[in-house]
Amino acid sequence: MTRPLQVDPRGLRFSAALTSVVLAAALLAPRPAALALLAAQALVFAAGASGRFDLSPYGRLFARVLRPRLGPPAELEDARAPQFAQGVGLTFTLVAVVALAAGLDVVGLVATGFALVAALLNAVVGFCLGCETYLVLRRLAPVRA
Amino acid sequence: MTGTWVLLGALAATVVVALLLRRRDGRFAATPAPAPDTAADERERVDAADLDVPLGERATLVQFSSSFCSPCRATRVLLSDVVRSVPGVVHVEVDAESHLDLVRRHRVLRTPTVLVLGPDGEVVQRASGVPRREQVLTALALAVPED
């Protein structure tokens, strides 16, 4: 087995902060702008969910501008849980995009709101909601023979 | 307009969850006492066989971790330091993903979760989230029988 992908936890928190800003803006913007913001955010989530954190514009910004100033990280983090969490974010954002495009504004806004809470918790207190869900789901999965 | 309300709601929800987490993280609580007619082997306990290592003479700290959980690292550092200063107490780290049976049996929902076992393996105290040193020492004092 290859060594699992490692990521800089500070980069994840920075990305979560930018994600929060984009999602908050989407909540306040008129529908066409909100759709554009959510679609863009969905692409960022898709990059993270597929393990290509290097393709995420937030991650790149962190790597280019912030990491050189912060120095190397004290420790790296296994990418599996954040990857899963990005997938959860992607799901909510896609629901929001589809709902808004279909004119179901309230559904779209509420889905965006859930994604925003998760992103904010990660950015502000470093709590990764998606990561915590990962163990709960693994626990519920049927016992392997 | 709805968007503004959702935004305010999301901000409020974040604050509430963050405060709840801060309050709850690392707080040890006694495991509920078993019903009086519960057979000894049905009580919540962890045996040496579950852990593949012998239990501590006086108490055992069982830490459920997952490979991707960063607060687990801080917990590991703290607990291994605590057991160095308290004789007869052992720290065992269990990978939650490869011990899903134990995870289910003890209803572990988060990593890190720490169970404090008495000398016979009975689960006396438990906490989830990163505990503080005093919290661990207090929980140990409750678990370790008086000499």
- Complex-level ipTM: 0.83
Note whether B108 contacts A: Cβ–Cβ < 8 A.
Answer: yes
* Domain encompassing residue B18: 2-143
Share the mean pLDDT of chain A: 89
pLDDT at residue B113 in the model: 94
pLDDT tens-digit readout, B96-141: 988 988 998 888 888 899 999 999 999 999 999 999 999 999 999 8
Alpha carbon of A81: minimum distance to chain B alpha carbons (Å): 6
Q: Residue A144 pLDDT more than 80?
A: no
Size of interface A-B (CB pairs under 8 A): 88
pLDDT tens-digit readout, B47-73: 888 888 899 999 999 999 987 777 888
- How confident is the model over A40-64, as a mean pLDDT? 92
Inter-chain residue contact A80 with B110, CB threshold 8 Å: no
Count of domains in chain B? 1
d(CA A67, CA A83) in angstroms, rounded, equals 20
pLDDT at residue A40 in the model: 97
pLDDT band at B33 (very low <50, low <70, confident <90, very high): low
pLDDT at residue A99 in the model: 97
Inter-chain residue contact B6 with A135, CB threshold 8 Å: no
Note whether B75 contacts A: Cβ–Cβ < 8 A.
Answer: no
pLDDT at residue B44 in the model: 83
Q: Please report, for residues A80, B32, B70, B77, B126, the alpha-carbon distance to residue B130 in angstroms, rounded to integers and kept in the order given.
A: 21, 21, 10, 11, 12
